[in-house]
Amino acid sequence: MKSRGPVTLVFAVLTLLGLAGQALLVRKVDALRPEATLEEVLYIPSAKAVKRMGLGYTGLVADIYWTRAVQYFGRKHGKGSTRYELLYPLLDITTSLDPNLVPAYEFGSTFLAQRPPQGAGQPEKAVALLEKGISANPNEWKLYLHLGFVYYFEIKDYLAAARALQHAAEMPGGNPELRAIAGTLAQHGGDLQTSRQLWMMVYQNEKQAQLRKNAERHLAAIDNDEIVTVLEAAIADFRRRTGRDPKSWAEMNANGYGRTVPIDPQGDAYLLIEGRVEVAHPETFPFITKGLPPGQQPSIGPQIVVQ
Amino acid sequence: MPAIEILGLEKKYEVGFLRKTEKVALKPFELAVQEGEIFGYLGPNGAGKTTTLKLLMGLIFPTAGSARLLGRHWRDPDVKTEIGFLPEQPYFYDYLTATELLEYYGELSGMDPTAQRLRVPEVLERVGMTAAASTQLRKFSKGMLQRVGIAQAIIHDPKLVILDEPMSGLDPMGRLEVRDIIHSLKDEGKTVFFSTHILSDAETLCDRVAVLNEGELRAIGVVADLTAQVGGKVEVVWQGEKAKPAVEALGAECRTTASLVRAVLPEAKLDAALDAIRQARERLVSVTPVRATLEDYFLQKLGRKPLEEVETR
Amino acid sequence: MNSRVLTIAANTFREAVRDRVLYNLVFFALLMAGGSILVGQISIDIERQVVVNLGLTAVSLFGVVIAIFIGIGLVSKEIEKRTLYTVLARPVRRWEFIVGKFFGLVITLVVNTFLMSLGVLLALLYVAHKLERGDLTVVVAIYFIVLQFVVVTALALLFSSFSSPLLSAVLAFAVFIVGTFAEDLRGFAAMSQGVTRVGATIAAYLMPNFAALNVIAEAAHAKPVAGNLILFNTVYALLYALAAVAGAVLIFERRNLK
Ligand SMILES: Nc1ncnc2c1ncn2[C@@H]1O[C@H](COP(=O)(O)OP(=O)(O)OP(=O)(O)O)[C@@H](O)[C@H]1O
Ligand SMILES: [Mg+2]
């Protein structure tokens, strides 16, 4: 027993050193090739090939590809990720392996359609993906809902959007409220109210965290745009009355415009700079079109129709 | 300095999968084997002989106790350069030839390469395997494997040779040869510690024996001393059939050849038997004491006969 | 290195050779010859790609199968057949036995892979008529495949030190497959929450990372591999193998032989 001591100790230390060391190296290797699992799709000739290589375990393989997509694009969402060119092939493979993976169509169409940096800016591919999904899953009303979204927000084909939403409303399980939205869509294409209704629809019906988060951001952006519209109107009024820009919110309050410093939907106070309203953190506030610092392009979003 | 000192070695096995129960394979005992001795380690099947030898070689670990080998701590790996071991029913890398196998073990024992080159044919000769020196072991019979096993145990000229049933699987000639090898090892001043349940081998070979039963050490000593503890027997021979029933009634087994009746009975019954013969007025031919064997010892002390080995040839 | 380790390693190699393990090279040669002649015939401008993909995949699979099937027997077969008794009755430390066995199988695999690699390069030469700079990635890919074998061998040895050959084989194959998806596993772990996250992260980092050791696709497209990746992968594989072999020693040190 006694002489087994040192050997055991030495090898226990070696085991631990080896384990700790390899974990460190794994991190280094991962850092060296952060997008390796995604880039794999660059070498894949077709979804059919993957299907054959998956040896019949296509469901599992599909799940793996799907998780890669969610993991990578979900985490990098809005952080200036650059590899959106990989998104479509990845989703195409995923849905070819498992055509019934409905969340993949929903997720995919959303992030394919949105303009960079919130998405790939490929609405046609989003439509293609959704149509593939609809032909494989003709009874999923939510696919029509998403199709409507892409037409409405990105392609701005309000007629096509209304048609898709009408479909969604009539399908079993579909939300009948959509019919009303679809009806007004043609006339009110692009107005904030319709946008809000649509995003609320997603927010209430969606189970995927990423997509709910996305809808929440859109809703926040709509709120922001509405608030900023009101604030801008007040400032214009102030300017008309005094002939100059207000210096601060306090000055505005003192003149009877509101009672406190206005707060944006992210919880930050709006800035008042040379008579302009700006959000405090535009970089973390995607989709807004109003309250941006001068020169900064609206990332994406509903257009405001001032009535 | 004793070659082997067993200091209270104990081995318990856990048996059963869900409900574990303890099985004691070896109970603690002390035993010293002196240098230069041929020491027999005897016991019936399942007595714990192999267990003891495996413990000594560090193949299994004891639940208690320790040992010393050649005066050194038994876990000192270097002590094994001086020890040769033949396991029970040995099996070797069957893709090697006998020569390659011995060379391999020689290297592992730290032998000098030139010494080894001379030694291998010599040892093969000694176990009568010269002809099969370059045959792969997968073509060997059981007896041939046993011989190679003995060869590998002595290839590195060890001071202490531990053999687990060295005669097993050998034909009568082979047994004689192994006996000779063991004797010659003693002549070279080596210590031989071997287990067996073939008692005649132990009787002819051993300076001392230890008897083990159900994991317990039952006796240590010179064979003659052990057998002396067993009451002797006598053979009585007489002429005529009439006394036979009376003698048989005493528990003796009688055999008749021509006109003579031959009976073997315990010494204590001798008087009664002689009385019976005299009463029948028959002629007494001879009374001869029969030497007690280890077998008698086993029968009387352990209440069972060690199973004679079944030859599987 | 210590001479007993070398002796045991050499004998392990000899065993593999005598057990005709290297015969797999015949099948490999047939596969490469057939494959390259076939793509040479159809000639659709991807001959090089096909030869590299086919060749390296075969090198990898043949090797992994050998590593697992021999690896799992390294210890358990010797215990089962009791050939180990007479070895451990020598002045051989138990760790020397394990380490010797490990190196023996690694040597076997290196020799086997070296011969196969020659076959791949010959086939490449046959279809492309010349070797180029880009073919260096093929060499790197083969090197990574060898690193992969080192890790698989160490794992097979580890499993073999405490379980039956069949169970070891199952475990080794499972870990091999999981290891090829190790990055996804770490992804899953990163996405989970709370206690699960801790457990999943530990599990994910204990699995071998085979994905990064597979650059066959890059080799097929003649894309270079970062020098740092070669360095990190080397250190990684050696550390992982160290941990597994040392773990095997720890288990084997206290094991009662049958
Ligand atoms: N691995 C094990 N697990 C449980 N019990 C065991 C184990 N090995 C041995 N035993 C038990 O220990 C006891 C002693 O066995 P051992 O092999 O030492 O006997 P032996 O004296 O060598 O017998 P034989 O003459 O048959 O070779 C036996 O009862 C056996 O059942
Ligand atoms: Mg035995």
Distance from CA of B54 to the nearest CA of C (A): 9
State residue C238's pLDDT score.
97
- Across the interface, whether the CB atoms of A21 and C239 are under 8 A apart is answered yes
Which of residues A178 and A94 earns the better pLDDT score?
Answer: A94
Mean pLDDT for chain C overall: 89
Would you say the CATH fold of B233-291 matches that of B2-227?
Answer: no
* pLDDT mean over A230-234: 87
CATH of domain B2-227: 3.40.50.300
- Across the interface, whether the CB atoms of C232 and A71 are under 8 A apart is answered no
State residue C5's pLDDT score.
96
Provide the angle, in degrees to the nearest 10, between the axes of the packed helices A158-170 and A177-188: 170
Q: Which of A8, A10, A16, A19 to mutate to test the interface with C (most CBs of C within 10 A)?
A: A19
State residue B43's pLDDT score.
87
Which of residues A220 and A39 earns the better pLDDT score?
Answer: A220
Give the range of the structural domain holding residue A206, as residue numbers without chain letter. Answer: 26-217
Query: Mean pLDDT highest for which of A18-32, A127-141, B218-232, C92-106?
Result: C92-106
Domain contains A72: yes
State residue A162's pLDDT score.
79
- Residue of B80, B90, B91 lying closest to C90 (CB–CB): B80
Return the SS3 of A248: coil
Instruction: Pick from B11, B12, B13 the residue to mutate for probing ligand 1's pocket: most ligand atoms within 8 Å of its CB.
Output: B13
* pLDDT mean over B204-221: 90
Is it the case that residue A5 has pLDDT exceeding 70?
A: yes
**Which ligand lies nearest the alpha carbon of B197?**
1
State residue C74's pLDDT score.
87
- In sequence order, the β-bridge partners of residue C47 are none
Query: Mean pLDDT highest for which of B238-247, C105-114, C174-183?
Result: C105-114
* pLDDT mean over B167-180: 88
Measured in Å, residue C161 CA sits from the centre of ligand 1 at 23
pTM: 0.78
Please indicate whether residue B89, judged by its CB atom, sits closer than 6 Å to ligand 1.
no
Q: Indicate the number of domains in chain A.
A: 1
Task: Report CA-CA distances (Å) from C249 to A150, C158, C238.
Answer: 60, 8, 16
By the 8 A CB rule, do A290 and A228 touch? Answer: yes
Mean pLDDT for chain A overall: 78
Distance between CA atoms of residues C74 and A217, nearest Å: 59
Is it the case that residue B313 has pLDDT exceeding 60?
A: no
Is it the case that residue C12 has pLDDT exceeding 50?
A: yes
Per-residue pLDDT tens over the stretch B79-90: 999 999 999 988
Distance from CA of B86 to the nearest CA of A (A): 24
Per-residue pLDDT tens over the stretch A194-225: 778 778 877 887 777 777 887 888 888 888 88
Per-residue pLDDT tens over the stretch C183-212: 888 877 877 778 888 888 898 899 999 988
Residue ranges covered by each domain of chain B: 2-227, 233-291
- Across the interface, whether the CB atoms of B73 and A1 are under 8 A apart is answered no
Mean pLDDT for chain B overall: 88
State residue B85's pLDDT score.
96
Joined together, the tokens standing for residue B312 give 């599987």
Backbone angles phi, psi at C251, to 5 degrees: -70, -45
State residue A139's pLDDT score.
84
pLDDT tier for residue B162 given thresholds of 50, 70 and 90: very high
- Give the sign of the dihedral formed by CA B259, CA B262, CA B263, CA B268: positive
pLDDT tier for residue B180 given thresholds of 50, 70 and 90: very high
* pLDDT mean over B279-306: 75
- Across the interface, whether the CB atoms of C91 and B59 are under 8 A apart is answered no
Residue of A nearest to C94 (CA): A7
Which of residues A105 and A4 earns the better pLDDT score?
Answer: A105
- Which fold does the domain B233-291 belong to in CATH? Alpha-Beta Plaits (3.30.70)
* pLDDT mean over A273-279: 86
Please indicate whether residue B51, judged by its CB atom, sits closer than 6 Å to ligand 1.
yes
DSSP chain B: -EEEEEEEEEEEEEE-SSS-EEEEEE---EEEEETT-EEEEE--TTSSHHHHHHHHTTSS--SEEEEEETTEETT-GGGGGGEEEE-SS----TTSBHHHHHHHHHHHTT--HHHHHHHHHHHHHHTT-GGGTTSBGGG--HHHHHHHHHHHHHTT--SEEEEESTTTT--HHHHHHHHHHHHHHHHTT-EEEEEES-HHHHHHH-SEEEEEETTEEEEEE-HHHHHHTS--EEEEEEE-STTHHHHHHTT-EEEEETTEEEEEEEGGGHHHHHHHHHHTT-EEEEEEEEPP-HHHHIIIIISSPPPPPPP--
pLDDT tier for residue B310 given thresholds of 50, 70 and 90: very low
Q: How many Cα neighbours within 13 Å face the side chain of B240?
A: 14
Instruction: Pick from B23, B26, B29 the residue to mutate for probing ligand 1's pocket: most ligand atoms within 8 Å of its CB.
Output: B23
State residue C53's pLDDT score.
85
Domain contains A239: no
By the 8 A CB rule, do C116 and C28 touch? Answer: yes
Distance between CA atoms of residues A238 and A154, nearest Å: 36
Is it the case that residue B265 has pLDDT exceeding 70?
A: yes
State residue A194's pLDDT score.
73
Please indicate whether residue B67, judged by its CB atom, sits closer than 6 Å to ligand 1.
no
Q: Is C2 on the interface with A (CB under 8 A)?
A: no
**Which ligand lies nearest the alpha carbon of B215?**
1
State residue A301's pLDDT score.
39
Is it the case that residue B289 has pLDDT exceeding 50?
A: yes
State residue A3's pLDDT score.
47
Q: Whose CA is closest to A154, among A112, A194, A191, A202?
A: A112
By the 8 A CB rule, do A115 and A300 touch? Answer: yes
Is it the case that residue A55 has pLDDT exceeding 80?
A: no
Return the minimum-mean-pLDDT range out of A73-82, A143-152, B145-154, C205-214.
Answer: A73-82
Joined together, the tokens standing for residue A132 give 């593939």
Domain contains A78: yes
State residue B103's pLDDT score.
95
Per-residue pLDDT tens over the stretch C31-74: 888 887 777 777 666 778 888 888 898 899 999 999 999 999 88
Domain contains A287: no
Output the domain CATH number for residue A99.
1.25.40.10
% of chain B with per-residue pLDDT over 70: 95
* pLDDT mean over B286-302: 75
Task: Report CA-CA distances (Å) from C54 to A134, A140, C48.
Answer: 37, 42, 10
State residue A187's pLDDT score.
63
Measured in Å, residue B27 CA sits from the centre of ligand 1 at 13
Give the pairing of strands A271-273 and B216-221. unpaired
Is it the case that residue B199 has pLDDT exceeding 50?
A: yes
Q: Which of A1, A33, A213 to mutate to test the interface with C (most CBs of C within 10 A)?
A: A33
pLDDT tier for residue A2 given thresholds of 50, 70 and 90: very low
Is it the case that residue B309 has pLDDT exceeding 50?
A: no
State residue A78's pLDDT score.
44
